Amino acid sequence: MAAHPRVGILLEGLRDRGHTVDELNEPLRVSTEGRVAALSSPSAALTFFGRLAKNWIRLIAGTRRHRGSRRPDAILVGYLGHFDVLLARILYPRTTIILDHLIYAADTAADRGAKGGVLNRILTGLDRLAITAADIVVYDTTAHADLAPAPLQHKGVVVPVGAPDAWFEARQEYPISGVVFYGLYTPLQGTPTIARALRILADSGDLPPVTMIGTGQDYEEVREIVGDADITWIDWAESTELPAIVASHAIGLGIFGTTDKAQRVVPNKVYQSMAAGCATITSDTAPQRAMLGNAATYVPAGDPAALADAIRTLVNDDARREEMRGRAFDLASRSFTHSAVITPLEERLS
């Protein structure tokens, strides 16, 4: 759950509502890129499905204590569970199966640079098969729910991603007036836009303290764009350390990509940065406006000049920055805790 906090938020939310939750976890330890490659490369497929078979053997063995009178009323399959939901349906044909479909395989493959009509059709079919196997399908935004095939959309329920308790606990009363970004540097993130905005601020002499955390496919381009600007680069931060690092900054950056997927998501980092008390700047998309309201600062996706202006304004206007920090934390405290976000799913189960 350290690598995938969404799962922990759902489980803790269900516990809060009085449900007895038992966990059966056998990590597959294959990256998203590895899963996509398995469907386009024979050698990668052999490796992936070999690991999956071993994983399923362990999962099947683990279900022995959940049979007969101990059979669960419902099974929640965490996201990236496109294959595991099939196993759950086979093992428990009459049990309510919940799939957290946070990630569409086809959508994510396109965002990670995978190309090819055949691969897209395979992954689209895999998405449909996973949704078909589940009784309830959990999405993070209405835009993602709308991607489901029309005959299957009745299964959907929208549950915001939310933020783990550690992010709320990390909030600082007086952080530095700096800017922080963390992520995987994929096209969804729009990190080249961030880099160009930082270059604009550096050239005008307005660059505040900035921390950039993470690496990924656009990382080298970002470093080239930023050049010699005075920025702190951190390749990796442990999940236990990240909340405190982010909370030590007054301003958190969301996503600024122009891809189709970027128009449909509200990313983890936005919920988490707001919970940590950061004034949050992110792209002006319908899902983010619907979820965040007036608690965030919005700029057009892919617009570095607008992003530079937004950063400059929050850095230089203490009152505005503190107002936005307060709005962010207040909204997160009311709507993005595990107790709050679980409400739609709990109501569907009832």
Nearest to 22 by CA among 65, 79, 86: 65
Cβ atoms of 345 and 11 closer than 8 Å: no
pLDDT at 232: 97
pLDDT score at 49: 83
- DSSP bridge pairs for 176: 249
Q: What is the pLDDT of residue 275?
A: 98
Q: Is 300 helix (H, G, I), strand (E, B) or coil?
A: coil
CA triple 321-327-329, angle to 5 deg: 105
- pLDDT on residue 26: 84
- At 52, the amino acid letter reads L
Coil, strand or helix at 251: strand
Predicted structure pTM score: 0.90
d(CA 289, CA 315): 22
- Which domains occur in the chain, in start order? 5-159 (no CATH), 165-335 (3.40.50.2000)
CB 222, CB 253: distance < 8 Å: no
Residue 130's pLDDT is: 96
CA-CA distance, 192 to 183, in Å (whole number)? 13
| Distance in angstroms (rounded) separating the CA atoms of residues 160 and 291 | 8
Residues of the chain with pLDDT under 70: 1-3, 31-41, 111-116
pLDDT of residue 35: 67
pLDDT for res 5: 84
Neighbours of 262 (CB within 10 A): 23
DSSP string, 186-216: -TTTTHHHHHHHHHHHHHTT----EEEE---
Residue type, position 1, single letter = M
pLDDT at 69: 86
Q: Give the helix, strand, coil percentages of the chain, each rounded to 5.
A: 50, 10, 35
